[in-house]
Amino acid sequence: MKILMVTPYPPLRDGIASYAVQTVMSLRAQGHEVTVLSPGPSAAHMHLNLVGARGAAALAKRVGGYDRVIVQFHPDFFYPIGAPAKERAMISAALTAAFRVATYVEVRLHEIDYRTGRGLSPAAVATRLMWSQVDEIVVHSEGERDDFIAAFRVKPERVVLTDHGEDFQRYTSVDKAAARRTLRVPADAKVFLSIGFIQPHKGFDRAVTAFGELATADARLYVVGSLRVDEPGFKAYLETLREQIEHTPGTELREGYVSDELFDRWIVAADCLVLPYRAIWSSGVIERARLYDTPVIATDVGGLKDQAARSTDVMIVRDDAELAAAMAARLAGRTGLDAPNGVVPARVVDTSDLGRPWPAPGERFRERLQAELTARASIVRGGPLGAVDAAAPGVGPAGEPDARALVARLTPVPAFLLPSTAGTGARSYLKKVVRRLTVWESREVAHQLNLQKIGTDKMVGVLTDQVATLQARVRELESEVHAGTDTDTDTGAGADVDAGAGAGTGEPRG
Amino acid sequence: MSGEIDRRGTLAFVPARFGDEVIGGAEIVLKQMALGLQARGWTVEILTTAALDHHHWENVFPTGTSEEGGLTVRRFPTVNEPIAERGELEGRIMRGEPVTLSEQQRWMNAGMRVPELYDYILDNKYAYRGLVFTPYPFWVTFACSQIAPERSVLWTCLHDEPYAYLDLFQPVFTGSAGLFFQTDPEYDLARRICSNLAPNAIVGCGVEVPEVYDPHGFRARYDIDSPFLLYAGRREGGKNWEQMLEWFAAAYERAPFDLKLVTMGSGDVNPPESIRHLVIDVGFLPDHERDNAFAAAAGYVQSSIYEAFSRTIMEAWLAGTPVIANAGSDVVSWHCERSDAGLTYRDAAEFEQCLRFLADDPAGAAALGARGRDYVLAHYRWETVLDAVEAKLVEWLPAPADVPEPTPVGGHPAVVDPADPAAVTETAGV
């Protein structure tokens, strides 16, 4: 089969690119002829700026001649950030045309704003029309599937649930002892790990706070990763995290650009991953942990609960208290939340997941069945917890924060003000109904609040930078006054330095 | 030792360029290593591009699979689309200005790329026991070594240059099955750059030992009747060629000396007018004539500071010729100190004095150079280096139980991982 894959692609360091290349590898290994088209230059065969109506029109010219077009979808690939409704409508219309030209279109959904499908505005109508042209929409959790169908009124049979880690492969073959040796991690310590791009919504500060409450000498928490983008708010968050870790014994920040191999080596080295996300759609980290049977503690956001149900040892926690208790339980060698301090409510086993359908026949059927039955066994053993009742409150680190740090600590508002429930009783049923009826309004409010937070992040960052620049300039002027000089240092000093290096000493570079 | 080594499985060596006409230390070493390992019983292939020149990356060689010099070579076409932003980013990188990670990624992808090689490794990674890449800064190494990091080994060729400090390359240094370093200073540099190196080992670098030299014949063939300083390799700014020429001219203008400058290799010569009559370009020479040139020289100059090993100074020392070298290179300075057979200079004045020493005291210079041969023979015979390389390859790259054959270039595989990835590799330690 001739397949066109539209996606960000390596060597771009990006979660969707990493996901896509593993899918490409799998498809090629099955004998398909796969051509990759990426939004920018990469290892793909073609690249094309896909943003805007012109990008969609250009895409339309390239989809012909393929038996299947697979699009790894994130709205930013196609819609300019902040584009007005009219422009969005035009882009959706252009994408509709592109999808209509293609023989068969599969869209793998990585993120989308469900509000774009709501109402009778031209933009919403165009968006729904666009999705109606997609033959298969692949999502990674039941929640996404339900929400997508409701938002875009797509026929349910077109929306397919796929295992996030379906095509994931191992990038390391070391064992735990070797991994720890190479990473300079104590061989006999109990090791918790929070790994990934460092961003406020990843909530790594929550793991540090929880770890700080454990008061144990033989455990470690490593936070591993780097900033993905140089947003002021993200930088401030990293700075705050650094301070917090500095003041929390047993924790360590391993800051840096983590390769796929190193990422996996850390997972092998860890006894337990801690993923206290404040917001996420689905987690590639959980899937990679699954490859190595490394236990995970994660918060109940996005589709993580669905992912947990497919994994052998993922514990979903509701809040910071449960997070601390879960880490304490791990330290004590238990997988449940029956922590000795009694701060945690009784464990809830979400048996409703046992009622879901088994995987349908298809590719790697046995493997998926095996994973499913393992996951179900995990549920019966009490791995994943049930419904959540409250949004996880943000917990800021100790210390005197600056303005940026304060803003960075504002917890993003959860998309659902009324949390989801998987219970089966009358109360749960009522909650489901209310949630379904109010979901759009609550998401709108949450979205606006989070936008305001991001805007505040940026504004405070810019102002802080400007203040720092002014302060530095004041210090320079003060030192010049003290030195009794009235030279214009901006030009004079630079000229002197250049002359010294080039003509004075003739010192070679390096 | 050879009887204890499990050499099953195919090794792929993956340089960005390959061929007899390619001038570059890393590429030459990789070829020699491939041939050396093949002679020891390994199955070795070369995966590379069709390019000869590392500036324009034009596809010169035919693509596809061929036999070259006893090795199977699979060549893939380069893609090199000029993107304006690359030049601006390159300038900022070289000036040491902050460049964000996303900008670094754009810089890397805005240059030469080889998507078909990427696809080939994607399809056939399980067909190889290991893939050995060099040098680190090229797209081929950066992109392709991360496809199967658990079976990718990097012959780093690391220089103390702005590129090395880019965050972009951290995954290559941290996330490979193993790293080969050639010298202690190269390893020290790697540790300064990266706090969490992948398993690694200093294995040195092999140098061929010529059986005989013909210095008189060389002088006669090129009509050189006076002592000369020799320069070998690429004549380009990155090697400080122009600066060395200027300093040579300045020294000569201050007080003439009996010393010519002979150069072999590639690139424009462009000597200052005042020394044009002293500069002789003998062009690109075959190996045996290169050896003769080293033996005939009064001294060999290494002006580059970006050296990971510097094969040419070994070739000079094997011929008994003293070396004068830019002290800006930690590696070359380290060699000179360890061997007692080379001088280093830090500026034009020191360089001038090196020249005068060679011109004024040929016997002393010869005595200095004579120490170099023992140094090279003690540390850098290919047999010694290959022993170390093999030991690490078998440690880092577990032997497969069974491996499928690589598919022809352009073919489509149906390959799954035949190996159980449970085998353990450990830090080599250095």
- Please give the single-letter amino acid code of residue B149: P
3-class secondary structure, A298 = strand
3-class secondary structure, B181 = strand
Contact A256 B106 (CB under 8 A): no
User: B305 contacts in A (CB within 8 Å)?
Assistant: 508-510
**Cβ neighbours, 10 Å, residue B33:** 24
Bridge partners of A297?
A274, A315
3-class secondary structure, B71 = strand
3-class secondary structure, A278 = coil
What values do phi and psi take at B257, rounded to 5?
-135, 165
Structure tokens at B340: 């007692």
- What is the structure's pLDDT at A261? 84
Q: How far, rounded to the nearest angstrom, does the alpha carbon of residue B130 sit from its chain's CA centroid? A: 20
Q: Does A170 touch chain B (CB under 8 A)?
A: yes
Identify whether the C-beta of residue B323 lies closer than 8 Å to the C-beta of residue B197.
no
3-class secondary structure, B319 = coil
Contact A506 B348 (CB under 8 A): yes
Query: Cα(B134)–Cα(A429) distance, rounded to whole angstroms?
Result: 61
3-class secondary structure, B175 = coil
- pLDDT (tens, 9 = 90+) of chain A, 510 residues, equals 999 999 999 998 878 898 899 999 999 989 999 999 999 999 999 999 999 999 999 999 999 999 999 999 998 899 988 889 999 999 999 999 999 999 999 999 888 888 888 888 999 999 999 999 999 999 887 878 888 898 899 899 999 888 776 777 788 878 899 899 888 899 999 999 999 888 888 999 999 999 988 767 789 999 999 887 777 888 889 999 999 999 999 999 998 878 888 899 999 999 999 999 987 777 788 888 988 989 999 998 877 877 777 666 888 888 888 888 888 888 877 655 443 333 333 333 344 554 565 555 555 443 543 455 455 544 433 443 222 222 222 222 332 333 444 444 344 444 444 444 444 556 655 655 555 554 444 544 554 555 555 556 556 655 666 666 676 666 667 666 666 543 333 322 222 222 222 222 222 222
The string of DSSP codes covering B282-314 is EES--HHHHHHHHHH-SEEEE--S--SS-HHHH
Q: Does A169 touch chain B (CB under 8 A)?
A: yes
- What is the structure's pLDDT at A135? 95
CA dihedral B291→B292→B294→B295, nearest 10 degrees, is 120
- Chain B 281-320, CB below 8 Å of chain A: which residues? 305-306
3-class secondary structure, A31 = coil
Dihedral sign of CA atoms B361, B364, B365, B366 in order: positive
Query: Cα(B392)–Cα(B179) distance, rounded to whole angstroms?
Result: 9
Structure tokens at A77: 């690939």
Q: Does A400 touch chain B (CB under 8 A)?
A: no
Burial label for A360, CB within 10 Å (0-12, 13-18, 19+), is: exposed
Tell which residue, B158, B159, B160, B165, has the closest CA to residue B97: B165
CA distance A18 to chain B (A): 10
Q: Does A2 touch chain B (CB under 8 A)?
A: no
The string of DSSP codes covering A310-365 is HSSSEEEESSHHHHHHHHHHHHTT-SSS--TT--SPPP-B-GGGGGSPPPPSSTTH
Contact B108 A11 (CB under 8 A): yes
Q: Does B84 touch chain A (CB under 8 A)?
A: no
Structure tokens at B334: 């380290």
Query: Cα(A94)–Cα(A83) distance, rounded to whole angstroms?
Result: 15
CA distance B291 to chain A (A): 29
Is beta strand B64-68 parallel, antiparallel or unpaired with respect to B71-76? antiparallel
Q: Does B32 touch chain A (CB under 8 A)?
A: no
- What is the structure's pLDDT at A426? 61
- Measured at the CA of B102, the angle between CA B108 and CA A224, to 5 degrees, comes to 110
CA distance A455 to chain B (A): 21
Query: Cα(B402)–Cα(A410) distance, rounded to whole angstroms?
Result: 55
* Beta-strand runs (E) in A20-163: 33-38, 46-47, 68-73, 105-109, 136-139, 159-161
Cis peptide before B135 (omega within 30 of 0): yes
Dihedral sign of CA atoms A30, A35, A36, A37 in order: negative
Contact B427 A259 (CB under 8 A): no
* End-to-end Cα, chain B, rounded Å: 21
The string of DSSP codes covering B195-228 is SSPPSEEE----B---S---HHHHHHHTT--S-E
Query: Cα(B365)–Cα(B345) distance, rounded to whole angstroms?
Result: 16
B153-156 long-range contacts, CB within 8 A, separation 24+: B153/B177, B153/B178, B153/B179, B153/B180, B153/B393, B153/B396, B153/B397, B154/B178, B154/B179, B154/B180, B154/B198, B155/B26, B155/B29, B155/B30, B155/B33, B155/B180, B156/B180, B156/B181, B156/B186, B156/B190, B156/B308
* Average pLDDT, consecutive stretches of 10 residues, N- to C-terminus, chain B (430 residues): 77 92 76 93 95 87 92 95 85 89 91 95 94 93 94 91 91 92 93 90 93 95 95 88 92 91 92 94 92 97 89 95 93 92 89 91 91 94 94 92 59 41 29
User: A42 contacts in B (CB within 8 Å)?
Assistant: 109, 113
Q: Does B198 touch chain A (CB under 8 A)?
A: yes
Structure tokens at A97: 């045309």
- What is the structure's pLDDT at A174? 84
**CA max distance for chain A:** 85
Closest chain A CA to residue B159: A510
Q: Does B199 touch chain A (CB under 8 A)?
A: yes
* Beta-strand runs (E) in A158-238: 159-161, 190-195, 219-225
CA dihedral B181→B184→B187→B191, nearest 10 degrees, is 170
CA distance B208 to chain A (A): 30
Bridge partners of A275?
A298
Structure tokens at A499: 């002359």
Q: Does B248 touch chain A (CB under 8 A)?
A: no
Structure tokens at A16: 């969707």
Residue from the list A42, A171, A510 with its beta carbon closest to the beta carbon of B160: A510
Residue from the list B102, B306, B426 with its beta carbon closest to the beta carbon of A181: B426
What values do phi and psi take at B30, rounded to 5?
-65, -40
> What per-residue string of b and e applies to A465-504 under the rule 16 or more CB within 10 Å gives b?
eeeeeeeeeeeeeeeeeeeeeeeeeeeeeeeeeeeeeeee
Closest chain A CA to residue B82: A41
Query: Cα(B409)–Cα(A206) distance, rounded to whole angstroms?
Result: 50
Tell which residue, A203, A131, A138, A204, has the closest CA to residue A166: A138
Structure tokens at A312: 């052998």
Contact A29 B416 (CB under 8 A): yes
User: A265 contacts in B (CB within 8 Å)?
Assistant: 175
Contact A43 B143 (CB under 8 A): yes
Residue from the list A30, A182, A510 with its beta carbon closest to the beta carbon of B305: A510
CB proximity list for B17: less than 8 A, separation 6 or greater: B24, B27, B48, B49, B51, B52, B54
Tell which residue, A199, A198, A180, has the closest CA to residue A189: A180
- What is the structure's pLDDT at A308? 77
The strand order across the sheet containing A314-317 reads: A251-255, A219-225, A190-195, A272-275, A296-299, A314-317
